[in-house]
A and B are shown apart, each in its own frame.
Chain A
Amino acid sequence: MAAPVNSVVNSSAKCSSFNATSFQKKTRSRLISIPGTRPSVQNGQLLVSTGVTSLDYLLGGGLAVGTVLLIEEDRYDSYSRMILKYFLAEGVVCRHELFVASAQHTPDDILQELPSPILDDVAIHKPVEQPRLSHEPQDSLDAMKIAWRYQNLPKVQTALASSSRFGHYYDVSKMMEAEIREAAKCHRFYLPEHPTQSSPTHSPMLESYSALLKSLRDVIQREGFEVTAPMSKSRNILRIGLHSLGSTLWGDDLCCHDNPRHGHALTTFLYGLRALLRSSLSVAVVTVPSHLIQNRALMGRITRLCDNAIALESFKGSEREANPLYKDYHGLLHVRQVPHLNCLASQLPDHKDLAFKLKRKQSHIQCGILWPFHLFIYFDL
């Protein structure tokens, strides 16, 4: 669209206000631009990355802000804990705020084990050692002979990634350095430090869950994560990681009995959590030891109360380990639920047989989800 310039004397600031046509370019409503987020291509929701790029792909591009991801733990809680750590590490790298709650391990223990990000988006490439002739000078080793115009440009990563600024890659064999980690603001909730006060009203929620919900609400209000908070401040996302909810250490007998006495405690908590998240700029990842929960109806209710739900089944210790089909993978991944937010139907992944693997590539180990059998696109994450 051409806006005619009035004259050279008038400053250029004026020419944009003169419209010769009646067509107005439709400007999108002011998108909150927060680092580490992007709008979804399907329904325009604001998405954050889970830290594992292929999990983002399965969930439709990422985790929508204001939703809950439920991870059903594998038997020894190794891989679910790893995905939780990836989620928190992604928050550190994108400079979001973190909230970590656990009853078994101190949140500091979990934070110290975060994987280290591979910071330049460049595959670490060791040039193959060629035996050099004696008359070659030292500094010409890096100079390219034929493609010398490109020698000052960074090496480009060949693996596909939707946008490298949205999801990052991590190296599980190394821990995140302390200065990167401490730069992120983190709120902690360790259950043994919160003495349980018996509530006067008989609420269906346990004291531990009430304390956790109250702590979350306080953090959201105090730090200004609510959607209705004034827009003058720069906005940020709060990433909430809740480890092993429903286990006995939270005081819940969901995992012990077939007909638990506190059958409604966790479901009430999840309901309150989702209400809290919908009205704030936060995302939550909750892990639940579902292999211990015997009551399948209860597990179904818990799944319905969360927006996204995946289940991890590790091959360690099960009879599937001997199956030759599975020998390259570490476990199966089941997508139990994908949300449909502001639209009629959700985008389910095309393939139902998903397996995951911790891949050791060159010098680092990354977590990846593979599509076995016919579709062998290898997502290097």
Chain B
Amino acid sequence: MLSELLQGTDTGGFLIVQDNISHSGRPLLKSFISAALNRDEDVHVLAFEASEEELKDGLQGLPCQRLHIHNAYIDPLGWTAHPAFTVQQFCFEELTQLAKQTSQPKPATLVIDSLSWILRHLNPPHVCKTLQQLRKGGAVRAIIGLLHADMHQRGTVGSICHLATSVIAVSPGMKADEAVAKTTKRAKSGKVTQDEEIFRINEDLTVVVLNKTSHPGPKQTDQEEPEMDPTANLTFNLRLSDTEREAKEKLALPFVFSKEKKMALLQSGPGSGRILYEPDANDDYDQEDPDDDLDV
């Protein structure tokens, strides 16, 4: 599933890469950036935690005119007179304007490094509202965010991940350069799929998915086991051959009427009785209580 997500999130998709102190998710984030650049998409990166040089490291071979890094690393809180990008600018109007600045008519991909930084300085309902507005508005095609799960309370992490369409939680693998990715994807129909894979990131930021882990993934819920047919493998014959069936049809049943008589009986004639019943307001609902009639 990791490779599917790398190939391109759907429009309006919100992907979260969740990492912790033991394994950083930034290389995977950079793989997503390089995959988007390879697809000729505009990528806007809000860099709060890493400098511009660090983010560009590894992306040299790719067409960089589509990559726009908004440097919020130098002065995120606006202490100097001319800050490049501050955390207060993380709101729907400013971000839409930012995304529309590019020359391409196609909507851009927004990469946020990291959401944790923003959550330390803005309150979570505001961040959630902005993210939801960005998803619904048309300026941004997809949002990819990095979230450090151990930096926040569980409720905050849960609330942000509740908004996401896919969440990838990375953790260290057995070998030094391998990592385990637990992916949860929510389709628009409401169906949830989960997967656990071991992956490795190469020098050129391509992701190689190694074999799946030993735990088998959960079974799809709509697969039904084929039911055993009880009429198979019997020692006696339950089927009819054609001649046998003809003989069965020809058998005259007792009390069988001719077709005309049947039709006559089925239609209600003028003489047949019909029961017309209209319950009025006085009718008793309760059949069990005989004393209900009395006004005592």
Q: Is the CB of A256 within 8 A of B295?
A: no
Question: Of A27, A30, A251, A321, which contacts B125 at CB under 8 A?
Answer: A251
Q: Is A376's beta carbon under 8 Å from chain B?
A: no
Q: Is the CB of B125 within 8 A of A23?
A: no
Q: Considering the complex, which residues of chain B in the window 148-164 have a beta carbon less than 8 Å from any beta carbon of chain A?
A: 153-156, 158-159, 162-163
Q: Is A214's beta carbon under 8 Å from chain B?
A: no
What are the interface flags for B213-244 relative to A under an 8 Å C-beta threshold, 1 for contact and 0 otherwise? 00000100110100000000000000000100
What are the interface flags for B118-138 relative to A under an 8 Å C-beta threshold, 1 for contact and 0 otherwise? 000001110011001100100
Q: Is the CB of A23 within 8 A of B218?
A: no
Contacting residues, chain A, for B292 (C-beta < 8 A): 26
Q: Is the CB of B159 within 8 A of A248?
A: yes
In the assembly, what is the distance between CA of A358 and CA of B265, in Å? 44
13 contacts between A and B (CB under 8 A): A23-B294, A82-B190, A131-B245, A145-B253, A148-B262, A149-B265, A192-B133, A249-B129, A256-B124, A289-B162, A294-B154, A316-B192, A321-B218
In the assembly, what is the distance between CA of A192 and CA of B133, in Å? 9
For B257, the closest partner residue in chain A by CB is A148
Q: Is B57's beta carbon under 8 Å from chain A?
A: no
Q: Is B194's beta carbon under 8 Å from chain A?
A: yes
Quote the shortest CB–CB distance from A342 to chain B (angstroms). Answer: 17
Q: Is the CB of B159 within 8 A of A247?
A: yes
Given contacts A133-B242, A360-B224, contact A256 B153 (CB under 8 A): yes
Which bucket holds chain B's interface residue count? 35 or more
Contacting residues, chain A, for B128 (C-beta < 8 A): 248-249
For A208, the closest partner residue in chain B by CB is B125
Q: Is the CB of B294 within 8 A of A292?
A: no
Contacting residues, chain A, for B256 (C-beta < 8 A): 145
Contacting residues, chain B, for A149 (C-beta < 8 A): 265-266
What are the interface flags for A216-258 relative to B under an 8 Å C-beta threshold, 1 for contact and 0 otherwise? 0000000000000000000000000000000111111101111
Given contacts A24-B295, A292-B159, contact A81 B124 (CB under 8 A): no
Contacting residues, chain A, for B154 (C-beta < 8 A): 294
Q: Is B66's beta carbon under 8 Å from chain A?
A: no
Contacting residues, chain A, for B224 (C-beta < 8 A): 360
In the assembly, what is the distance between CA of A155 and CA of B118, in Å? 63
In the assembly, what is the distance between CA of A249 and CA of B126, in Å? 8
Q: Is B246's beta carbon under 8 Å from chain A?
A: yes
What are the interface flags for A288-299 relative to B under an 8 Å C-beta threshold, 1 for contact and 0 otherwise? 010111100000
10 closest cross-chain pairs (CB), A and B: A248-B128, A256-B124, A26-B295, A292-B158, A256-B156, A248-B125, A248-B159, A255-B159, A78-B190, A294-B155
Q: Is the CB of A317 within 8 A of B192?
A: yes
In the assembly, what is the distance between CA of A247 and CA of B295, in Å? 53
Q: Is A146's beta carbon under 8 Å from chain B?
A: yes
Interface centre among B158, B222, B246 (most CB of A within 10 A): B158
Contacting residues, chain A, for B285 (C-beta < 8 A): 28, 39
Q: Is the CB of A316 within 8 A of B245?
A: no
Q: Is A278's beta carbon under 8 Å from chain B?
A: no
In addition to A145-B253, A249-B125, 9 A-B residue pairs with Cβ atoms within 8 Å of each other are A26-B294, A77-B162, A78-B192, A133-B242, A148-B262, A152-B266, A192-B136, A256-B124, A294-B154
Q: Considering the complex, which residues of chain A in the window 149-177 have a beta carbon less than 8 Å from any beta carbon of chain B?
A: 149, 151-152
In the assembly, what is the distance between CA of A96 and CA of B186, in Å? 32
Quote the shortest CB–CB distance from A359 to chain B (angstroms). Answer: 11
Quote the shortest CB–CB distance from B125 to chain A (angstroms). Answer: 5
Q: Considering the complex, which residues of chain A in the window 305-349 have a beta carbon less than 8 Å from any beta carbon of chain B?
A: 316-317, 321, 330
What are the interface flags for A61-101 relative to B under an 8 Å C-beta threshold, 1 for contact and 0 otherwise? 00000000000000011100110000000000000000000
Interface centre among A76, A146, A152, A255 (most CB of B within 10 A): A255
For B182, the closest partner residue in chain A by CB is A317
Q: Is A25's beta carbon under 8 Å from chain B?
A: yes
Contacting residues, chain B, for A291 (C-beta < 8 A): 158
Q: Is B203's beta carbon under 8 Å from chain A?
A: no
Contacting residues, chain B, for A27 (C-beta < 8 A): 281-282
Q: Considering the complex, which residues of chain B in the window 20-63 have a beta carbon less than 8 Å from any beta carbon of chain A?
A: none
For B127, the closest partner residue in chain A by CB is A248
Q: Is A104's beta carbon under 8 Å from chain B?
A: yes
In the assembly, what is the distance between CA of A267 and CA of B136, in Å? 29
Contacting residues, chain B, for A330 (C-beta < 8 A): 221
Which bucket holds chain A's interface residue count? 35 or more
Q: Is the CB of B159 within 8 A of A76?
A: no
For B245, the closest partner residue in chain A by CB is A133
Contacting residues, chain B, for A82 (C-beta < 8 A): 190
Q: Is the CB of B192 within 8 A of A151?
A: no
Q: Is B109's beta carbon under 8 Å from chain A?
A: no
Interface centre among B125, B129, B256 (most CB of A within 10 A): B125
In the assembly, what is the distance between CA of A186 and CA of B125, in Å? 29
What are the interface flags for A43-77 relative to B under an 8 Å C-beta threshold, 1 for contact and 0 otherwise? 00000000000000000000000000000000011
Q: Is B4's beta carbon under 8 Å from chain A?
A: no
Question: Of B129, B194, B281, which contacts A316 at CB under 8 A?
Answer: B194
Quote the shortest CB–CB distance from A43 to chain B (angstroms). Answer: 13
Q: Is B293's beta carbon under 8 Å from chain A?
A: yes
For A30, the closest partner residue in chain B by CB is B281
Q: Is B86's beta carbon under 8 Å from chain A?
A: no
Contacting residues, chain B, for A133 (C-beta < 8 A): 242, 245-246, 249
Q: Is B184's beta carbon under 8 Å from chain A?
A: yes
Interface centre among A23, A152, A249, A258 (most CB of B within 10 A): A249
Contacting residues, chain A, for B136 (C-beta < 8 A): 192
In the assembly, what is the distance between CA of A146 and CA of B293, in Å? 46
Q: Is the CB of B153 within 8 A of A294?
A: yes
Contacting residues, chain A, for B281 (C-beta < 8 A): 27-28, 30
In the assembly, what is the distance between CA of A271 and CA of B295, in Å? 39
Quote the shortest CB–CB distance from A326 to chain B (angstroms). Answer: 12
For B216, the closest partner residue in chain A by CB is A322
Q: Is the CB of B125 within 8 A of A256?
A: yes
Contacting residues, chain B, for A250 (C-beta < 8 A): 125
Q: Is the CB of B123 within 8 A of A253?
A: yes
Q: Is the CB of A81 within 8 A of B190?
A: yes
Q: Is the CB of B125 within 8 A of A257?
A: no
What are the interface flags for B253-273 relative to A under an 8 Å C-beta threshold, 1 for contact and 0 otherwise? 100100000100110000000
